[in-house]
Structure 1
């Protein structure tokens, strides 16, 4: 196996806690949990369907459409100003506690670190500021650059080109099973970040490695090398 030179990270649910959007819904709806879950699952569905029917739009636009669908499905009618305020929480999500220390360990060990995300550039700029990871990452790489979403192989190949790293020398870390499988299919080492919320979806194989904390990524990669 080619030694890992570069480590890429997914953003939402990996570095940032998307469950925090429930807090933004609490003041507007009586039961935010099902709306929040519907919103997130629909948003991801839109990206994958868009890949297949050439209907690309920015992730933020899909996020808006998914929120509107979730609200309508659950019979909630909110004015546009409130919907936009809820959407804006994606610019200020809570950062998981292991992010900065985990990335610092990787850079100290000599790995190049990047973020590869479905989020559009404005969302990723907010992510870097919120997470305080600017000193650890080489850059953020957005699906917007190729107008293709995960798990399509094109975005991972584009990430390899942007980082200047052979694709088989990249380890991609994500809490999303589909993202890990997509990275593996494209030729990367797939590392599943098990946040303890759902089991691994094993219908198409297993991750190359599993961690429960970003601070463990360095050790796992070095052991595989």
Structure 2
């Protein structure tokens, strides 16, 4: 697909892996698990898979609970016997994830260029609030939008339509920025332009078309919108 900057008046952002680095969660496992990398990867994968299944079988839980269950599964698979208190300490890391270096300057540039900026994510309100505060971007955002408001997760089109309604923007005037392949596709399916953040030069998914735009930093999006 081809990105059309003239259509864009509002920019929405995913959070995890887009604004903040979920790989930092591996550090929280390092002191408690012999080999933290596979545990961390399975934790993240199951967390997303649970949201996909929940959408289909009407089994919504707040994302924090999904994430907790996914962590327990990953620990069980790898025979990591840790206490509930230690598990809860690991989960806290999702409130304190490291922000990517380009995020604040990139959003600030977009705001200065006249674009209204929002965060739209699966996380429940407490996770969303702490993420925004820890990333130090609260002053740059118009608002934040949680999947908890309508009890459905990405990539359900209803969440993107809800986000458009909350921003007061026609859905085809929104560019949704995300590192998640399923999130790009969900946004495009709902009528937004899908902007993929790919900081590590990874392959794109080989089905259902391409993102409208692929960037390696939020500054690159500001440049694309100015052209």
Structure 1 unmatched runs, 5+: none
Q: Deviations over 1:149-196 (max 9, x none)?
A: 000000000000000000000000000010001000000010000021
The residue that corresponds to 1:74 in the other structure is 78
Aligned CA-pair RMSD: 0.9
The residue that corresponds to 2:92 in the other structure is 88
The residue that corresponds to 1:115 in the other structure is 119
Residue 51 of structure 1 is aligned with which of 52, 55, 63? 55
Please give the TM-score of this superposition, normalised by the length of structure 2: 0.96
SS of the residue corresponding to residue 202 of structure 1 reads coil
Following the alignment from structure 2 to structure 1, what is the Cα–Cα distance between the partners of residues 53 and 209?
22
Map 1:119-198 onto structure 2 (within 5 A).
Answer: 119-196=123-200, 198=202
Q: Does 1:3 align with 2:20?
A: no
Q: Deviations over 1:130-154 (max 9, x none)?
A: 1100111011100000101000000
Shift of 1:202: 2.6
Q: Deviations over 1:93-142 (max 9, x none)?
A: 00000000000000000000000000100001001111100111011100
Which aligned segments of 4 or more residues in structure 1 are displaced greater than 2 angstroms?
none
Following the alignment from structure 2 to structure 1, what is the Cα–Cα distance between the partners of residues 190 and 22?
26
Q: Does 1:219 align with 2:223?
A: yes
Following the alignment from structure 2 to structure 1, what is the Cα–Cα distance between the partners of residues 56 and 186?
15
Shift of 1:78: 0.8
Shift of 1:197: 6.0
